[in-house]
Structure 1
Amino acid sequence: MATEGTVRRGGVQPVELYRFEGTDVWQEGDENARIRGYFPLSPGTPNAGEVAGEEVTIVCLEIEPGNYLPTHRDSNEELLVVVDGTVEASVGEERVELSSGQCAIVPEMEPHGIRNVGDATARVIGFFPNDELTATFDETLMPFDSTVVTIGGRDE
């Protein structure tokens, strides 16, 4: 068993994606620009576990009906997978509705956002092919108090 502060890599280890308390993320002045984020493979991020991927990052989102993840650009290509609910993903100038079991690919640095258009909490997982991710938002993201948020990366 790993000790506190240790990052466990390698081997097969189960990770419960929504086990941890999520981090509320929002933008001031828009009550619907609000989500709850979970970072289960990114030790050092709020409420994360101790397991890290060698070359992968995942971000788990819970979005309440009517709320949305604001427009941003990610430093890596992203695979969005809808686990529960129905969302509208905007990618560049395109919009697509995605329901449970569906996915979409977002190209690196393409502006995108996700809105819950259903009547239940939506759960979405973003998969990234790198252990570090930098997201740049159009407006300041709280509680980070910045337009640029970096998660993951090697902590060895």
Structure 2
Amino acid sequence: MHSPLALVRDAQPNIAHIEGSYEALEHLVGVNLARLRAERQLSLDALARASGVSRAMLAQVESARSVPSIKVLCKVAAALKVSVSAFLRRHAVNGFEHLPAERASRLVSADGRYSARALYPEGEPAAVEFHELRIAPLHTEPGVRRPPGTTVNLVVSEGTLEVSVHDRRQLLATGDAILFDADQPHSLRNPGDTEARVFRVTLNAETPPRWDVPAASAGGEAASAVEAVAAVAAQPA
């Protein structure tokens, strides 16, 4: 049986991971703030006057020595005339990103009768995905089951679409929309004689961070680990 101290030591990599995430966040916010300020040719003093945030605080944020509060970020965003989310983006250089159609990522089935084009910047975990789907006449495309909590919203732009979820079917005409949980068996079928064009928005399931407590006996040992970690966290720095 592990002692509480041993379980606390086992939890240290997770604590280090969380601390590393905060450091990455500090760096990201700092880099974006410095970039946005430089693009507008503002000095720290000028931005401090425009935002009401002290020069010292702005300097700490840019140098990744401090994570600002939401209130501070809102003040700075208003002064820079950007969204608060601009401080958290990795892809946008000018507050937006142009996605040329000819360079878009496109997934095509082996028979070429189904394609999905990404309409959002890929390469990073995304809470929401946006795709354009093209489905050939009389083609059926099986859906990929996603983790519980994932939802899909489909809107038919051209043609018709039959959506099957378990053993239930829904026919959609041009302009119709449907929303369903994507952890269920589902498929898309074009029953028409012309290509169907569909837009799909996928809202991914949230996965909040969890303590990775060693699972030995399901009762007392896990509880001891949580209590030990809590005791360490409660100690004064």
The equivalent residue for 1:149 is none
Name the CA distance, whole Å, in 2 between partners of 1:59 and 1:131.
17
The equivalent residue for 2:196 is 122
Name the CA distance, whole Å, in 1 between partners of 2:102 and 2:200.
13
The equivalent residue for 2:133 is 61
The equivalent residue for 2:67 is none
**Structure 1 residues 74 and 16, CA, compared in 2 at 3 Å: closer, same or farther?**
farther
TM-score normalised over the length of structure 1: 0.59
Report the structure number with the largest CA radius of gyration.
Answer: 2
Alignment of 1:43-62 (within 5 A): 43-44=122-123, 55-62=127-134
Name the CA distance, whole Å, in 2 between partners of 1:17 and 1:131.
28
**Structure 1 residues 10 and 80, CA, compared in 2 at 3 Å: closer, same or farther?**
farther
Contact in 1 for aligned 2:91/2:121 (Cα 8 Å) = no
Deviation by residue 1:12-31 (Cα, 9 ceiling, x = unmatched): 666577984733124xxxx6
The structure whose residues are more often strand, as a share, is 1
The equivalent residue for 1:99 is 173
**Structure 1 residues 77 and 40, CA, compared in 2 at 3 Å: closer, same or farther?**
same
**Structure 1 residues 69 and 42, CA, compared in 2 at 3 Å: closer, same or farther?**
farther
In structure 1, runs of 5+ residues without a counterpart are 1-5, 45-51, 133-156
Name the CA distance, whole Å, in 1 between partners of 2:142 and 2:190.
12
Q: CA RMSD in A?
A: 3.3
Alignment of 1:11-90 (within 5 A): 11=95, 20=104, 22-26=106-110, 34-44=113-123, 55-75=127-147, 76-90=150-164
Percent identity of paired positions between Structure 1 and Structure 2: 28
In structure 2, runs of 5+ residues without a counterpart are 1-89, 207-237
Length, aligned pairs only: 115
Name the CA distance, whole Å, in 1 between partners of 2:118 and 2:170.
25
TM-score normalised over the length of structure 2: 0.41
TM-superposed CA distance for 1:81, in Å, is: 1.0
The equivalent residue for 1:7 is 91
Contact in 2 for aligned 1:57/1:128 (Cα 8 Å) = yes
Contact in 2 for aligned 1:42/1:57 (Cα 8 Å) = no
- Runs of 4+ displaced beyond 4 Å: 9-19
Are 2:184 and 1:110 aligned?
yes
TM-superposed CA distance for 1:40, in Å, is: 1.9
